[in-house]
């Protein structure tokens, strides 16, 4: 299994002078702390000790209901509550999907690049990766069709909206093409959607799972909407897939924490979700713009990047492909600045050098200072 450079950065308890562009953590001002605190009291009063008991492996019925009948209809997804599984962060869904679908040597299609922690989750089950390159419209349908036909992939894992790490957003036309290609095969469409509500220009198109995919598995999370430390996500899948995911979930942890589920539901009921999301978008859009300005001022001659229209990251390409990014990162950390090494986001090695830079955490002055520190190391 590959190591996670991001997790290691987050766990290294760096001194306070380290400026990190490494993780994908929401900004503390975007966590609805007051509502969570009030929800805490309400849950304790309403449920008493029961809130801290074991729950069902599928998840609390009220929360599954909320997701099926209040959240997913916003995205054109017509789901039944019994088609929802509550998981311990969508990271757990990645593991359960892999546990159910991958045997050693099974082919799995992933985007190139793709989310490093998905590669970590899948790799434990020893798949063979088939990579689908991305162009400016999204994953390339011809490459996907070839992999599905020639390798018999078990599933295609995609992050269509503001992809982690590239920030790319798949167009509506391309989403329809991908669905068409998927529906000609037996492979499942595993769509991961943590970022679609973090848009800074225009709303992304509907999820692929709402556009007629015949074997959909949609992953969602409360990490970016409420708080990542509550470790709460969900999966929507049809019953023939769901029953296997539930068994895998039983074996993994019996159930997701009951208290977190009640707490999130109560928090969501207190929040005005639309204004909460608008507030988050406003905070991150201004951070994105500050980061773009700081990058332009300090690294434009050494690197190139697209402006992300959503999500949490800049995907920065070094103009010199032979820069050993791992060593660059080690030097940068010595100089008190960190980022995620782009190499971790490729299932097979890339000839080009990339860095993934988070913009939701640092302040504008940290951005300027951190990027100047990076510039000095790069120039050396």
Ligand X SMILES: Cc1ncc(COP(=O)(O)O)c(C=O)c1O
Contacts (Cβ under 8 Å, ≥6 apart) of 161: 169, 170, 193, 195, 196, 199, 204, 207, 310, 311
The single residue among 89, 138, 205, 370 that binds ligand X, judged by CB under 6 A, is: 89
C-beta closer to ligand X: residue 83 or 192: 192
The DSSP letter of residue 217 is E
Q: What is the pattern of x (binds ligand X, CB under 6 A) and - over residues 178-217? A: --------------x-x-----------------------
C-beta closer to ligand X: residue 298 or 354: 354
Residue nearest to ligand X (CB): 89
Stretch that binds ligand X, among 11-19, 28-36, 221-229, 343-351 (CB under 6 A): 221-229
Q: Is 301 helix (H, G, I), strand (E, B) or coil?
A: coil
Least distance from ligand X to the Cβ atom of residue 368, Å: 25
Least distance from ligand X to the Cβ atom of residue 231, Å: 7
Greatest alpha-carbon span in the chain = 61
* Half-sphere exposure of residue 211: CA atoms within 13 angstroms, side-chain side: 20
Dihedral sign, Cα of residue 370, residue 373, residue 377, residue 380: positive
C-beta closer to ligand X: residue 164 or 267: 164
The DSSP letter of residue 310 is B
**CA distances (Å), 153 to each of 38, 113, 150, 229, 300, in order?**
47, 18, 8, 33, 40
C-beta closer to ligand X: residue 8 or 301: 8
Stretch that binds ligand X, among 84-92, 123-131, 198-206, 316-324 (CB under 6 A): 84-92
Tell me if 24 contacts ligand X by CB under 6 A.
Answer: yes
Token pair recorded at residue 115: 């989310």
Neighbours of 121 (CB within 10 A): 22
Tell me if 228 contacts ligand X by CB under 6 A.
Answer: yes
C-beta closer to ligand X: residue 90 or 106: 90
* Interaction site with ligand X (CB under 6 A): 24, 89-91, 115, 159, 164, 192, 194, 221, 223, 228, 233
């Amino acid at each position: 299994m590959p190591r996670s450079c991001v997790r290691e950065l987050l766990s290294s308890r760096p001194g306070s002078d380290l400026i990190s562009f490494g993780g994908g953590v929401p900004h503390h001002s975007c966590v609805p702390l007051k509502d969570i605190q009030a929800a805490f009291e309400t849950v304790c009063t309403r449920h008493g000790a029961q809130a801290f008991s074991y729950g069902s492996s599928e998840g609390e019925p009220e929360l599954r209901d909320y997701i099926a009948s209040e959240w997913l209809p916003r995205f054109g997804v017509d789901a039944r509550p019994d088609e929802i599984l509550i998981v311990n962060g969508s990271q757990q869904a990645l593991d359960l999907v892999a546990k159910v679908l991958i045997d050693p040597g099974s082919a799995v299609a992933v985007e190139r690049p793709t989310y490093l922690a998905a590669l970590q989750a899948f790799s434990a089950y020893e798949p063979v990766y088939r990579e689908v390159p991305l162009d400016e419209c999204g994953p390339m349908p011809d490459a996907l069709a070839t992999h599905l036909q020639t390798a018999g992939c078990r599933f295609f894992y995609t992050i269509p909206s503001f992809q982690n790490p590239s920030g790319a957003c798949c167009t509506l036309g391309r989403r329809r093409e991908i669905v068409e290609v998927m529906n000609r095969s037996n492979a499942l469409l595993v769509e991961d959607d943590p970022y679609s509500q973090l848009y800074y220009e225009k709303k992304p198109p509907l999820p692929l799972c709402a556009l007629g995919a015949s074997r959909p598995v949609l992953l969602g999370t409360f990490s970016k909407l409420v708080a990542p430390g509550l470790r709460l996500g969900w999966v929507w899948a049809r019953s023939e897939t769901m029953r296997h995911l539930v068994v895998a979930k039983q074996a993994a942890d019996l159930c997701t924490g009951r208290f977190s589920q009640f707490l999130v539901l109560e928090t969501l009921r207190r929040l005005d979700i639309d204004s909460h999301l608008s507030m988050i978008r406003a905070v991150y859009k201004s951070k994105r713009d500050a980061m773009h300005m700081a990058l332009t001022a300090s690294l434009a001659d050494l690197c190139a990047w697209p402006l992300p229209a959503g999500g949490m990251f800049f995907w920065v390409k070094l103009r010199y492909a032979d820069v050993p990014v791992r060593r660059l990162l080690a030097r940068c950390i010595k100089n008190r600045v960190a980022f995620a090494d782009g190499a971790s986001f490729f299932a097979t090695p890339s000839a080009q050098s990339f860095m993934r830079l988070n913009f939701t955490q640092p302040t504008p002055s940290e951005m300027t200072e951190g990027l100047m520190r990076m510039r000095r190391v790069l120039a050396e």
